[in-house]
Amino acid sequence: MFIGLVFAVAAGTAIPILSILIGIAVDYYTNFQRHTINSSVFSGGINYGSLINVYFAIFIFVATYISVATWVYTGERIARQIREQYLRAILRQNIAYFDEYSSGEVTTRITSDIHLIQDGISEKVSLTFQYIVQFILSFIVAITLSWKMTLVISYFIPFLAINSYLMNKFNTIFTKRSLDFYSCARTIAEDVISTIKTSVAFGAQKELSNFYDSYLANTRKEGYKKSLLNGFSIGIMHFGIVATHGLAFWFGSTLIINHELSSGQVTGLFLTFLYGTFSLISFFVDIQALSLAAAAGSKIFGTIDHVFSINIDSDIGDKPENVMGHIQLKNINFVYPTRPNIKTLSDVSLDVEPSSIVALVGSSGSGKSTIILLILRFYDPISSGIFLDGRDIKSLNLTWLRRQISLVSQEPVLFKTTIAKNISYGLIGSIYENLPDKKRREIIENACKMANAHDFIMDFPDKYETMVGERGILLSGGQKQRIVIARAIIKDPKILLLDEATSALDTQNENIVQNALNKVSKNRITIIIAHRLSTIRNATKIFVMDKGVIVESGTHKELIDKKGFYCKLVEIQQIKQSLEAEEDFNILSPFITSLKDDFTELFTIKNEDHHVLSNKSLISSHFNQKSDIEIGFENDYHFTVWELFMKILSINKPEFLILFTGIIASIICGVIYSIFAIIYGNIIQVLTETGDTLFHDTTFWALIFNFALGFSNEKLTERIRSMSFASILRQNISFFEEENYGVGVLTSHLLLDVTHINGLASFRLGYILQVLATIFFCVIVSLIVGWKFTLVCLCSVLFLFGAGILHIEMISGFYQKTKKAYEYSAQIVCEGVDNIRTIAALTRKDDLWKIYHHLLDEPMHQGFKNAFLASITFALSNSIYFLVDALAFWYGGILFINNEYDLLKIFTVHTAIMCGSSFASHIFANAPDMAKAKSAFATIISLLERVPVIDTWCQSGEKFKTVKGHIKFSDIHFYYPTRPGISVLRGLNLEVKPGQYAALVGPSGCGKSTIISLFEKFYQVTSGKITIDRLNIAKMNVNNLREQMALVSQESSLYDMTIRENLIFGCRPEQNITQNDIEKAYQEANIYEFIIKLPNGYDTRIGRRGIQLSGGQKQRIAIARALIRDPKILLLDEATSVLDSELEKVVQKALDAAAHGRTTLAIAHRLSTIQHADVIFVIKDSKVHE
């Protein structure tokens, strides 16, 4: 950094020295014209001055290259360190932090905000420092030439300093607000994209886009304020600069008249201030990058420096050698930080003896899962404590504590990697973590056999190396749950926590997996949360909870004998008779007996087999499979800068008037600066009347172009983000299952690509237009005054442009390469933060950080290449300016000696060319922004112009007039586009008559959910035909088709809205509903009483994916969302699987009532829920078995 600053200072000395040389040259011209020197002296002086300029060109090239290259290199290193430190800080945050801050905010910070910081600490530092040095040295040179004149014109410096301070201060404030608003918009985008099937099924893409747009509108308003501020501040800056020049013209002429200064000295002083002025303008352009970096950095470093109450990174705390497994909760009281007025647990005490199996049962929302979270120390109770083997868990090392525990939660969480990798995450921190790959694979396979997952895994073409997709989207719910169970049991945990571990399994798999869980539960503490009481009947002790308190406890038999709360739950499930025949754990199937040896082998690995590998061994396979995968949009769009500009104009068409005003104002500013060339060329004739008009015009038009272009740019940014998000929601479901289009990648496009276009289209676009106008009119002035001299000088100017354009192309290439790597790294962060509870439970913090660290290697490598290669072309474009000056003086001298040009023409052309060249060198300082915008726009256009096969924007297709609900699947064959080698359905035939309640049953992964997906037209069938009332759905308008249906999935998929908004989201287009309709829907879903007891009732925000609610509460809201739609066809995919027995019975009754008079297609693992179905289809081997 120091070396870079030293050479930035060196580069900054060139311009003031050049001004002195020009002043000396003017004296040579003047003296030769006055015949005080002969032609040989004149030629020798001019040639020597030209040679000095050549030397300075070489010097500036070297100084600029070293200063820019070192700071680009520094920026890459610092940005990487900040990214890694920020992620490490995020991963050690308390879980309560993520109840308030979303993954959208985190990924916004780690992508956009750190990008802004990097932009502010890279070449902008070198250039800003160079501009400051140029301005200061220009001031010093001016004092040396004439302290009187300098003193007169220096009045404006404090004025501009105050203006700059205020502009940057308020820019920081507005930028902070804008970033905060957009992080909310990004969170919405992440939630919608990650639950795309729900939004598509309800045809709510437009409503969700509008919801996203509402946050963009707030971002835009902050941008308007910033545009107005910048326009006003830049206008004031121009006022001061041009007014000072007017004063300088007048006072300089008086000094010439009084013979205090020569014309060369006044010219040198004028040019010194002119170049100093240009440096000041460039400084104010680039200082905005530093201002934005400061704004972005405030929250980044605030998070990094934050001190945590529950610190996962701390080495403090006991690490007992042996764990007996005695857990005690003593008088626990607890409230969630985000709901301080609602007491979740009240004076809860329970005692879990070593090697016992304890069950927690009770109604949804009674506090069962909260106890699990407290044992994992995701939160601390507000009073009393939790003890493990007599030690308060607060005194234990937190990482050690969590590594004694395995968790299987209600919603299975898988990461976007292979099956084997997902299961191996369960080994982190265990004695098996660093085993050789072969031995680790044996353990993985044995764990899968116990979880009854091995067989379906071996059916996949890639077997254990099969990618599961984002959130396991490529697997069925049951398959995901079995993999999660395998991950939990693989490390032989001391404490096993099962939160509805088998809820997503069919009956056959549930029995097998439950027996396996029973087997592994021996000789360890097992705490089970279950709604299906058949899974916990043999528990050592059962605690019955209601409204945050324990109302009963005892064994199954003791609680049955009490005839209390538990007995009532059992009676509701009607399992009493079946339970009497199966009384202990020892009566197991032959299958389970065969697993005993596998399990013994799994956990009896000899010490000599332990082979300690490097930390990279755990993550190496993760990257081997990714090395050939290209992340990003595939497109053939390549834009020139002009085409890019025209595309921006076309998208900004609604703001054409104000955009046109901004463009005209930019051009006028450029014209005014070209007039300066004439003024300096006519320096003897410059009088006070010229200054007044110019400075008023420049001030006015500078304000107009900055505000107008800023205003139109904010609309452009909002519109591109809105159009891009809408276009993403337009895509087919298969689009989101592709490796290249994960949530993190897509939201990064919405953020970074649009930010890069913003960076070009806002103030910089106005500045670039002004510069182009200045160059154009300077060339016109030069050609009019002296075409011969102009053409010769323009030859060197063309080299300057060539170097600048090459610089843009090089940076564009480097950016395109780093962009893909950054997108995938953002995907990893998004996925990790989105599933932070699973990350914390698995103690995957360090593993995730290592993966992220590794992913930053490629962009850093490209960044270093950019620093040392692209800086060459930038330095070249910056130094050619001096070669232009050398050529101008040398050739001008020849023309002057030959009497072809007089002094007025020579200096008018020279000043115009040099003015244009100076501005041209400044415009290429914006090359990184232009290159990034060019690449980003290609990506945006490829997205906007991507038309899916099943297009929800298409208005064509047949529409239903009336729907009876006669459904028929005829010889359906299907495979998923992302898995073309696996046939999911093979010749499936089924028929559901109007008004029938049809049930689909069968083992997990047999294709039941696929049938629902095809019926919703999420995918097109490979062959065969699906009809509704004899109309082929392939020919139907897809929006009209989905309006006839309502879907309740296994995963509730709620959004960070209010309870009311989540319900309204389910309405059909133009469906008018009243408050009575809302209340009725929630009453039918049996959640009305819970809602009205909340402090904010229907206006309660439920957090991301309904995190503030229990699983049962979320599912009931999802059911109400379907009922409010009043669909002709009701689709139920395990709609009641997460409800407790009492609620299941009530809600099932409501669903049965809702099914009356409409066709219903239901998937169920609990056969009791579909025993009254009109027809049941048993799916096996990809077709209807019976």
Which alpha helices (H) appear in 731-868, and where do they start and end?
Answer: 733-737, 743-748, 754-761, 763-834, 836-841, 845-855, 857-865
Q: What percent of the chain has pLDDT over 90?
A: 8
Quickly state the pLDDT bin for 522 (edges 50, 70, 90).
Answer: confident
pLDDT(609) > 50: no
CA distance linking residue 737 with residue 743, whole number of Å: 10
Write out the CATH class of domain 967-1184: alpha beta
Letter for the amino acid at 1070? E
Letter for the amino acid at 469? G
What is the edge-to-edge ordering of all strands in the sheet holding 495-499? 405-408, 495-499, 525-529, 357-362, 541-546, 549-554
Which string of b and e fits 199-223 if b means at least 16 CB within 10 Å?
Answer: bbbbbbbebbbebbbebbebbbbbb
Residue 107 or 864, more confident: 864
1039 C-beta neighbours (distance < 10 Å), count: 18
- The pLDDT, as a whole number, for residue 679 is 62
Whether the Cβ atoms of residue 148 and residue 255 lie closer than 8 Å to each other: yes
Tokens of 83: 């990214």
- The pLDDT, as a whole number, for residue 509 is 65
Q: Matching CATH topology for 327-589+612-624 and 967-1184?
A: yes
DSSP state letters, 969-1023: EEEEEE--TT-TTS-SEEEEEEEE-TT-EEEEE-STTSSHHHHHHHHTTSS--SE
pLDDT(518) > 80: no
Tens of pLDDT, residue by residue over 544-559, are 988 889 999 998 888 8
* Mean pLDDT along residues 696-705: 49
Question: Which CATH number does 327-589+612-624 carry?
Answer: 3.40.50.300
pLDDT(700) > 70: no
Quickly state the pLDDT bin for 693 (edges 50, 70, 90).
Answer: very low
Q: How far is CA 553 from CA 256, 357, 542, 556, 643, in A?
A: 104, 13, 5, 9, 74
Tens of pLDDT, residue by residue over 877-891, are 778 778 888 888 888
* Mean pLDDT along residues 454-470: 88
- The pLDDT, as a whole number, for residue 1125 is 86
pLDDT(423) > 90: yes
CA distance linking residue 429 with residue 863, whole number of Å: 35
First to last CA, the chain: 75
pLDDT(730) > 70: yes
Kindly list the domain boundaries of the chain, sorted by start residue. 2-306+639-944, 327-589+612-624, 967-1184
Tens of pLDDT, residue by residue over 967-980, are 999 999 998 887 77
Question: Residue 958 has what DSSP assignment?
Answer: B
CB neighbours of 95 closer than 8 A, spacing ≥ 6?
A: 373, 378, 379, 836, 837, 840
Quickly state the pLDDT bin for 437 (edges 50, 70, 90).
Answer: confident
* Mean pLDDT along residues 825-846: 85
pLDDT(633) > 70: no
pLDDT(672) > 70: no
Q: Minimum mean pLDDT among 39-48, 92-101, 663-672, 803-812: which range?
A: 663-672
Q: How far is CA 590 from CA 98, 451, 600, in A?
A: 45, 15, 16
pTM of the entire predicted model = 0.66
- The pLDDT, as a whole number, for residue 608 is 39
pLDDT(1027) > 90: yes
Quickly state the pLDDT bin for 199 (edges 50, 70, 90).
Answer: confident
Best-predicted range by mean pLDDT among 70-74, 309-313, 330-334?
Answer: 330-334
Quickly state the pLDDT bin for 266 (edges 50, 70, 90).
Answer: confident
Best-predicted range by mean pLDDT among 309-323, 424-438, 714-728, 928-942?
Answer: 424-438
Q: Minimum mean pLDDT among 238-252, 254-268, 768-782, 1068-1082: which range?
A: 238-252
pLDDT(909) > 90: no
Whether the Cβ atoms of residue 556 and residue 526 lie closer than 8 Å to each other: no
pLDDT(580) > 80: no
- The pLDDT, as a whole number, for residue 477 is 74
Tokens of 1114: 């979320």
CB neighbours of 764 closer than 8 A, spacing ≥ 6?
A: 285, 926, 929
- The pLDDT, as a whole number, for residue 445 is 92
Instruction: Find the helix or strand (DSSP H, E) in which 728 lies.
Output: helix 688-730
User: Which CATH architecture fits 2-306+639-944?
Assistant: Up-down Bundle (1.20)
Q: Which of 322, 433, 467, 476 is nearest to 843 (CA)?
A: 433
Quickly state the pLDDT bin for 1106 (edges 50, 70, 90).
Answer: confident
Q: How far is CA 435 from CA 231, 422, 465, 617, 849, in A?
A: 63, 16, 18, 9, 21
Q: What percent of the chain has pLDDT over 70?
A: 80
Q: Which of 413, 421, 536 is nearest to 490 (CA)?
A: 421
Mean pLDDT of the chain: 78
Tens of pLDDT, residue by residue over 1036-1085, are 999 889 889 988 887 778 888 889 988 888 888 778 888 998 888 888 88
SS3 1041: helix
Q: Minimum mean pLDDT among 24-33, 227-236, 296-305, 680-689: which range?
A: 680-689
Question: Residue 685 has what DSSP assignment?
Answer: G
Whether the Cβ atoms of residue 1098 and residue 935 lie closer than 8 Å to each other: no
* Mean pLDDT along residues 773-791: 83
Whether the Cβ atoms of residue 816 and residue 97 lie closer than 8 Å to each other: no
CB neighbours of 53 closer than 8 A, spacing ≥ 6?
A: 18, 21, 882, 883, 885, 886, 889
Q: Minimum mean pLDDT among 689-693, 697-701, 808-812: which range?
A: 689-693
